[in-house]
Amino acid sequence: MKIRVYYEDTDAGGIVYHTNYIKYCERARSEIFFSKGVNPFEDDNSGFVVRKIECDFLGTSKLGDILTIHTKTEEIKRSSLTLTQWITKDNKTIFSMKILLAYMKNAKVARIPEDIKNIIIPS
């Protein structure tokens, strides 16, 4: 998934505000579902929530840059999912994140449905 850096994404330092990289990764996760015709939050009572993130800020980007967001599934458990996501600019990694997501249904941790699992692990 490719993303353009717009004015709204930058801060007074002229570079992308740090939390925006985390947002870009969330866009990429959603796009995986949208591209399969699935709305990841269509049913308000179930979906993934973020439990833990570990982020390394390795480089910067500025207005007009084109960034590529990469996503790799690390582990799928019964009700949780660990991904690595990283962002490159001109093939250089400027951000990487390990993220743990929990699947929730009616505000409780729940088993990840098989059809959702199949979208996450393309086979």
The verdict on 108 binding its own copies (CB under 8 A) reads no
- Report d(CA 101, CA 49) in Å as an integer: 5
Sequence-distant (≥ 6) Cβ neighbours of residue 46 within 8 angstroms? 103, 104, 105, 106, 110
Cβ–Cβ < 8 Å for 101, 80: yes
The residue assigned the tokens 């007074």 is: 12
Q: In angstroms, give the least distance from the CB of 1 to its own copies.
A: 10
Active site residue 11: yes
Question: Of 76 and 102, which has the nearer Cβ to its own copies?
Answer: 102
Q: Which tokens in the block code for residue 37?
A: 């015709």
The verdict on 111 binding its own copies (CB under 8 A) reads no
- Report d(CA 33, CA 38) in Å as an integer: 5
Q: Can you tell me which of 2, 12, 75, 91 binds its own copies, judged by CB under 8 A?
A: 12
Q: 14 to 73, contacts with its own copies by CB under 8 A?
A: 14-15, 17-19, 22-23, 26-27, 30-31, 34, 39, 41-42, 44, 47, 49-57, 62-64
Cβ–Cβ < 8 Å for 63, 13: no
Catalytic residue among 11, 43, 44, 90: 11
Binding residues vs its own copies (CB under 8 A): 4, 6-8, 10-15, 17-19, 22-23, 26-27, 30-31, 34, 39, 41-42, 44, 47, 49-57, 62-64
